[in-house]
């Protein structure tokens, strides 16, 4: 169940099932490919397993107690669920932006260099370059370039979320995961984030969990509809929202459904 | 009817408020009176000679230098053992330990250890460090005994401080490719430091002021010279105060209160340092 003309896959998810320690089956036999340099949107009602899937993609689910995890996630052919995977390297390659912006208790600059410094980067020129590049990519450079050493917490909510995006971009990952990144933002900040994503997909593979169907429709190149741990439909963006094949998808996108 | 009720309630409220104010004042009065009384009684005895000279004439004259130095040694000795160990234990409990029965048991044990009377620690130190490990009555044995007494305070306070660091900081750090240790060292520890420091100083303060734990393990009645190594016994302020107040006949009372004053200044001084360090740490982080 995959669009026939899907561009080259960056990530291939194969029969992925996940059950949390309390018995909740949050993913049931999920299989689909995420194409490179596209925005793939995972949408559907709360509890569908979207966040769970994102957290599998960079093994952040290692922090949670999981009873059962089956299947494969191939990133450029390598199964990242393999216990031998270098998760640190994986997380540098697969960055994540969370729903609530969490800036670290440092300056704006240190927030951006944090990941690189952890990776052992000490060259000043590289760090400075990364700060400017990532802030520009996240459409924040103009607003903060004169106060890079101010505490990041002093930024507005919208700026903080763009800083979180920039912090991920500073590491130059291959894949960017965003879990409802604009759920707490005003429409203007939301617009800026969405505009950045359109730019970013030229270089990165973007996986977005939108906070609304409208946002899903606005941003999706490809869209996967999740319902109670199952992948119901996976299609081209326009198709999923204008001409869904599955009744449940249609009910959801037309608002006839929680 | 309604009006009467509201007046009633108003009166009750005012009465309650006055009562609480009085209670608050009542608790402060004894503390302040003790401090003032000691300053008035002991102040005249405190001079440069008093804090810099050896005692003579059966401790009835001269200074209390060896007791001051001894308490400093014991506090440092206690810090050397209890601070690294206590913080390490707190990091383990807060950041690494699985949330299981064993961990809960350890926590309960630590809380209960904090409640054990200090003389019991003294006896334990006598058995383990002085006799079994053959450290003798020494600064080493006394410091170790005080460390064991201090550890629960440091562990509990530090664990509390570490736990109050928001969880999302850790998740974000891990998601940016941080290891657990990098996350702890760069984010969790710096954030928790003010709280940890408070715990450390509270613990050390208690150690500096205790008599019972050092009574059998390292305190000397009188020594003609300063201790030369960690295997020597030492005089110490709280024990010295006990000695000159009960064991030496015809002791001038100003010397007793002077010694008490020095001890209080020592302990309160640590408190002030803790407060300053904490507010500095806050100011530097700007949030
Ligand atoms: N840590 C967890 N432990 C147990 N159940 C969880 C945990 N996280 C999520 N779940 C459950 O898994 C299901 C999917 O959740 P989630 O992936 O957050 O869905 P979505 O992001 O689509 O709203 C929900 O039923 C949720 O309650
Ligand atoms: Mg979610």
pLDDT tens-digit map of A236-245: 988 888 888 8
Q: Is A61 in the pocket of ligand 1 (CB under 6 A)?
A: no
What pLDDT sits at residue B3? 58
ipTM for the whole predicted complex goes beyond 0.90? yes
Q: Which residue ranges form the domains of chain A, and what is each CATH number?
A: 9-253 (3.40.50.300)
Q: Do A102 and B174 touch (CB under 8 A)?
A: no
Six-digit token pair at A92? 């540098």
What pLDDT sits at residue A44? 93
Q: Is residue B210 part of a domain?
A: yes
What pLDDT sits at residue B287? 44
Q: Is residue B119 part of a domain?
A: yes
Q: Is A48 in the pocket of ligand 1 (CB under 6 A)?
A: yes
Atom of ligand 1 nearest to the CA of A64: 1
Q: Is residue B156 part of a domain?
A: yes
Q: Confirm whether pTM is higher than 0.80.
A: yes
Q: Is A47 in the pocket of ligand 1 (CB under 6 A)?
A: yes
Q: Is residue B38 part of a domain?
A: no
Q: Is residue B22 part of a domain?
A: no
Q: Which domain holds residue B138?
A: 65-283
Which CATH number belongs to the domain containing residue B71 in this structure?
1.10.3720.10
Contact residues on chain B for A118, CB-CB shorter than 8 A: 173, 176-179, 182, 186
CA A46 / ligand 2 centre spacing (Å): 6
Q: B96, B169, B176: best mutation site toward chain A, by most A Cβ within 10 Å?
A: B176
What pLDDT sits at residue B249? 85
Identify which of A63, A151, A167 has the shortest CB distance to residue B174: A63
Residues of chain B with pLDDT under 70: 1-7, 284-287
3-state secondary structure chain B: CHHHHHHHHHHHHHHHHHHHHHHHHHHHHHHHHHHHHHHHHHHHHCCHHHHHCCEECCCCEECCHHHHHHHHHHHHHHHHHHHHHHHHHHHHHHHHCCCCHHHHHHHHHHHHHCCCCHHHHHHHHHHHHHHHCCCCCCHHHHHHHHHHHHHHHHHHHHHHHHHCCCHHHHHHHHHCCCCHHHHHHHHHHHHHHHHHHHHHHHHHHHHHHCCHHHHCCCECCCCCCCCCCCCCCECCHHHHHHHHHHCCCCCCHHHHHHHHHHHHHHHHHHHHHHHHHHHHHHHHHCC
Residues of chain A with pLDDT under 50: none
What pLDDT sits at residue B117? 92
Domain count along chain B? 1
Ligand 1, atom 26, residue with closest C-alpha: A47
Q: Is residue B60 part of a domain?
A: no
Q: Is residue B11 part of a domain?
A: no
Q: Is A65 in the pocket of ligand 1 (CB under 6 A)?
A: no
- Cα–Cα distance measured from residue A118 to residue A100, given in angstroms and rounded to the nearest whole number: 23
Q: Is residue B106 part of a domain?
A: yes
CA B181 / ligand 2 centre spacing (Å): 28
Q: Do A171 and B169 touch (CB under 8 A)?
A: no
Six-digit token pair at A110? 């240190």
């Amino acid at each position: 169940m995959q669009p026939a003309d899907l561009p080259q896959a960056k990530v291939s998810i194969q029969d992925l099932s996940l059950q949390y320690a309390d018995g909740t089956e949050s993913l049931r036999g999920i299989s689909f490919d995420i194409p490179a340099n596209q925005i793939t949107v995972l949408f559907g009602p709360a509890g569908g397993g979207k966040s769970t899937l994102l957290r599998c993609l960079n093994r952040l689910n290692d922090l949670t107690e999981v009873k059962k995890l089956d299947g494969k996630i191939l990133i450029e052919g390598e199964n990242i669920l393999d216990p031998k995977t270098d998760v640190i390297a994986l997380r540098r390659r697969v960055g994540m932006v969370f729903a609530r912006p969490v800036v670290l208790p440092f300056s704006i600059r240190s927030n951006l260099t944090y990941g690189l410094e952890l990776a052992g980067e000490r060259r000043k020129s590289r760090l400075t370059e990364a700060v400017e590049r990532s802030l520009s990519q996240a459409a924040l450079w103009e607003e903060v370039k004169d106060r890079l050493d101010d505490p990041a917490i002093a930024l507005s909510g919208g700026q903080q979320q763009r800083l979180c995006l920039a912090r991920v971009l500073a590491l130059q990952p291959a894949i960017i995961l965003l879990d409802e990144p604009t759920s707490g933002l005003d429409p203007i900040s939301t617009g800026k984030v969405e505009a950045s994503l359109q730019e970013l997909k030229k270089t990165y593979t973007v996986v977005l969990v939108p906070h609304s169907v409208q946002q899903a429709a606005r941003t999706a190149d490809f869209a996967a509809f999740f319902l109670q741990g199952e992948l119901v439909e996976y299609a081209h963006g326009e198709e999923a929202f204008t001409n869904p094949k599955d009744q449940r998808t249609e009910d959801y996108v037309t608002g006839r459904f929680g | 009817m309604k009006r009467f009720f509201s007046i009633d309630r108003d009166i009750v409220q005012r009465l309650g408020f006055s009562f609480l104010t009085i209670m608050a004042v009542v608790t402060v009065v004894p503390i302040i009176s003790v401090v003032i009384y000691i300053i008035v009684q002991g102040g005249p005895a405190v001079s440069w000679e008093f804090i810099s000279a050896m005692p003579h004439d059966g401790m009835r004259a001269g200074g209390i230098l060896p007791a001051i130095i001894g308490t400093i040694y014991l506090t440092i000795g206690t810090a050397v053992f209890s601070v690294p160990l206590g913080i390490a234990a707190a990091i383990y409990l807060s950041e690494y330990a699985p949330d299981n029965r064993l961990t809960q048991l350890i926590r309960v044990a630590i809380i209960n250890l904090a409640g054990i009377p200090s003389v019991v620690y003294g006896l334990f130190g006598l058995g383990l460090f002085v006799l079994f490990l053959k450290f003798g009555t020494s600064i080493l044995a006394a410091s170790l005994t005080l460390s064991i007494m201090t550890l629960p305070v440091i562990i509990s306070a530090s664990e509390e401080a570490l736990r109050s660091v928001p969880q999302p900081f850790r998740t974000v750090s891990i998601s940016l490719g941080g290891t657990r240790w990098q996350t702890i060292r760069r984010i969790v520890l710096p954030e928790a430091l003010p709280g940890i420091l408070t715990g450390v100083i509270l613990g050390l303060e208690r150690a500096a002021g205790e008599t019972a734990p050092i009574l059998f393990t390292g305190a000397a009645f009188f020594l003609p010279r300063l201790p030369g190594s960690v295997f020597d016994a030492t005089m110490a302020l709280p024990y010295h105060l006990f000695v000159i107040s009960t064991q030496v006949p015809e002791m001038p009372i100003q010397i007793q209160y002077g010694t008490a004053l020095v001890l209080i200044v020592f302990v309160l001084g640590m408190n002030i340092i803790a407060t300053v360090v904490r507010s500095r740490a806050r100011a530097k982080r700007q949030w």
